[in-house]
Each structure stands twice: as structure tokens, then as C-alpha cells.
Amino acid sequence: MLGDIPPSERVRDAWESWNIDRRRAAIRAVLNTIVIHPLAPGAAPNPASRLKDPAERQERIIAMLRQRVDFDWRV
């Protein structure tokens, strides 16, 4: 099922044309698990909500997610 995955620089373009089952299969092929850790006690659920600049807001959200999410990659 995954023999048609294109080289890494073209995966993003191919992803757009894949249906949900194809996307799930691709993710299962490269990941064992994804762990999303809970927010720290007292942490705001959306610390970027007050930021007016969309780019800064997105950057803050991504930084928060990187702290909370661990990927167990297949090797």
C-alpha cells in the first residue's frame, strides 16, 4: 500500500490527493504512537488567543504543541 509514496520533497503535494484511509495508512507506517501530554496545572489552554498577529499566534501555538506532543517513530 505504501509502495507509491513519492520522495520526501513531494510527499506534501501527494498528501493533498490522498483520501483519509490512505493518509492513515501512511501515518501508521511511520509512527508507533503519538502521546499528547496534558497541560501543566494552571496553564492557559490557548495562550495565543490574545495575540493579534496571525503569524505570531500560529508560532506560539506550534511552540506549545511541541512541548506537549511526543512521537514514537518506527525505525
Each residue of 28-59: pLDDT tens digit? 888 999 999 998 888 877 777 788 888 988 88
* Bridge partners (DSSP) listed for residue 72: 33
Tens of pLDDT along 12-34?
888 888 999 989 988 888 899 99
Evaluate if residue 3 carries a pLDDT over 80: no
The whole-number pLDDT of residue 29 equals: 85
pTM of the model: 0.59
CA pair distance 58, 70, nearest whole angstrom: 19
**51 closest CA partner among 39, 66, 62:** 62
